[in-house]
Chains A and B, each alone.
Chain A
Amino acid sequence: MSSSLEKASAPAQLRRIVIEPVSRVEGHGKVTILLDDQRRVHQVRLHIVEFRGFERFIQGRPYWEVPVMVQRLCGICPVSHHLAASKALDGVVGARTLTPTAEKVRRLMHYGQILQSHALHFFHLASPDLLFGFDSDPARRNVVGVLAAHPDLARQGILLRKFGQEIICVTAGKRVHGTGSVPGGVNKSVSRAERDELRRPLGDVLGWAEGAVQLVTDLYERDRARWDRFGAARAGFLSLVGQGGALDLYDGVLRARDQDGNILFDGVAPEQYQERIKENVRSWSYMKFPFLAALGPEAGSYKVGPLARLQNCDFIDTPRAEAARQRFVAGGIIHAPLAYHRARLIELLHAAEVIERLLADDDLSGDRLVTSGPRASSGVGILEAPRGTLIHHYDVAANDLVTMCNLIVSTTHNNGAMHEAIREVARQELDGREPTEGLLNHIEVAIRAFDPCLSCATHALGKMALFVEVLDAGGAPVAQLSRSGS
């Protein structure tokens, strides 16, 4: 068996297993596995088979259109792109510090998004595997099965998501693809009546969030050895951290740790991200492979998202989530993909607590919505989207049109770590065994743990490595064309 499982030495002689589409994730992807006659695994790849190209077609558009246009690359986390683009363009319009109203309305929108997305992922996408078993009956292993077997739990998941979407609707104007955030601020505040209405279900929301944390903790305790081992692959961590090292999902500075938890860099301003993160490409995937520059392309892959954030920050500034975080990190550095689920639900609880705090803040109802200052030709916006660190970078010409766009999306950061996780699962669970539907679902379980958003993750037109080979009817090569990635 190949040690890396990235590239088999003689793929033509191997049996090819394809999982397509990968189910219960956002977007379209497939996994290919190459086995020999003894069912030994030689190659495992996650292919992102759709292509979006937003980095290119945002060029030439007026900058104020960008937060609304670029969010269309996703139907699940549009708020994250809407806000990351707005943050980048705050820099362009010289809004160094937003008004308190704008800052808090955006935060409320963002934490509403975190809550709805995390609820969607756990209750609708991941819980069937965790409640019924990875290789349980596929006819039951879905959200309909959860509704039948655990109706109260499924209902809580739906209502948690609904609450997050109500917050997005109030702050952005629509539940999906709103327009609330503009360069330099927001276009509406949250009225007292709207705050009162949103506060009404808060008691239930906090209770359900705590219940979800308890549920996933119980699931973990029941099968600790498996949760700790399944697909575990070591990698570094990257996230924003806020004031004093607090967990902050909306704003902050970049911090990275190596796989042992040692800090590689800290306090890095968003504008300096390119000095710390580099990107690699593979000919067989539209998704880039970022790495931490300090560690190089081979050793520099890293994790982002809930698992990285909870281990990267020093504390959470809301009490219930902080208590849960302390229990979570008590055993040392965690690399197990399934721990993402536990971290994600702690963040869900944190989001509910932040929303409660924000809804009590009168600044939300203020009337100073937008600010500006000296114009700049470039802006970088970074926030922590549900799935991890999201980077938007734009150059804007003096005529107000965008000339350059670079997006490094959460799922892209996790590309290397996701591959290592599914290769580890292949080693642990598949190698030497006849692949059944249940066994192949183990691969998908590892992917799902990262909550990837594959539709968000492919944008760089003209930068990907390319290899074209023309064969004659007998299969002999006639011509070759290749281009290395940049």
Chain B
Amino acid sequence: MTDAFSLDGYDVPFTGGQTILQAALAARRYIPHLCYHPAFRPHGSCKVCTVKVNGRTVASCTTPARAGDEVESESPEIRDLRRNLVQFLFVEGNHFCPSCEQSGQCMLQAVAYDLGVTRLHYTQMFPDRPIDASHPEVLLDFNRCILCELCVRASAEVDGKSVFALSGRGIRKHLIVNAESGRLADTNLAVTDAAVSVCPVGVILRKRRGFAAPIGQRRYDPKPIRAMDEPADGEEG
């Protein structure tokens, strides 16, 4: 007999070692998330996948599934909490979806739509984050960084390069590159690196490719993120 937990009243089966988020996605029960990616060890930093397990709030991407648990994900309380987290992310950076080349392909935007974010609610901080256009093939637009560390993990674990890291603490935490000059051109990043294609938002961009996908054919155009047959970024269901 397969073990199962209850997610908003639905039985979700799981196998040994799976987290709540992994089991839910495998069962086609969507839990909004940003810093989780199936290719990498769960990170638990963005907290957008927060659920209540037996009345206690936890990050579902790092919490092991346990038989018989009562997991609450789609309640108004949890959705409000997630919406607040996503609104924080928007005001902490400079996210201008109308002219962003990742509009329609951006997980932050897709999750915001899913959570019904229609306004930012909080005062925008408008940080000053210059673009790094020094690399011949890759552009870094730090304005859109959500500190998910997927590029950090991909560069270290897949590319074996450690091109990216986070520096600073608290509200001053920011993405840096591994070069004395601080310029991407002075790192050993190659356009074919996994770190270049893993960004869920619009920070790490292949140059001169923007807007190649017409409206209607972008990743999240066909259906909302929670209804996608194939999870984004090669996530395994």
Contact = CB atoms under 8 A, between A and B. Distances in A.
A68 B99 CA distance: 5
A174 B215 contact: yes
B98 A72 contact: yes
B101 A401 contact: no
A177 B210 contact: no
A68 B215 contact: no
B41 interface: no
A187 interface: yes
A177 B131 CA distance: 24
A187 B214 contact: yes
Contacts of B130: 60
A399 B212 contact: no
Given A72-B99, A400-B139, A62 B213 contact: no
A400 B101 contact: no
Contacts of B212: 182, 187
B167 interface: no
A401 B208 contact: no
B99 A69 contact: yes
Contact of B210 (A64, A172, A178, A399): A64
Interface in B211-227: 211-217
Contacts of B216: 173
A188 interface: yes
Nearest to A63: B208
Contacts of B208: 64, 93, 400
Interface residues of A, number: 24
Contacts of B141: 62
Question: Is chain B's binding surface mostly helix, strand, loop or mixed?
Answer: loop
Q: Which secondary structure characterizes the binding site on chain A? A: loop
B133 A400 contact: yes
A180 interface: yes
A224 B179 CA distance: 74
B134 A399 contact: yes
A60 B133 CA distance: 9
A397 B211 CA distance: 20
- Chain B CB within 10 A, most for which of A172, A173, A397, A401: A173
Given A182-B212, A399-B134, A400-B207, 20 more contacts: A64-B101, A64-B208, A64-B210, A65-B99, A67-B211, A68-B99, A69-B99, A72-B98, A173-B214, A173-B215, A174-B215, A179-B211, A179-B215, A180-B214, A182-B211, A187-B211, A187-B212, A400-B139, A400-B208, A401-B133
Interface of A: 60-62, 64-65, 67-69, 72, 93, 172-174, 177-180, 182, 187-188, 397, 399-401
Q: Which 10 A-B pairs have the closest CB atoms?
A: A173-B215, A69-B99, A188-B214, A399-B133, A64-B210, A187-B214, A179-B211, A68-B99, A401-B133, A182-B211
Interface of B: 98-101, 130-131, 133-134, 139, 141, 205, 207-217
26 contacts: A60-B130, A60-B131, A62-B131, A62-B133, A62-B210, A65-B99, A65-B100, A65-B101, A65-B210, A65-B211, A67-B211, A68-B211, A69-B99, A93-B208, A172-B215, A173-B214, A173-B215, A179-B214, A179-B215, A182-B211, A187-B211, A188-B214, A188-B217, A399-B133, A400-B208, A401-B133
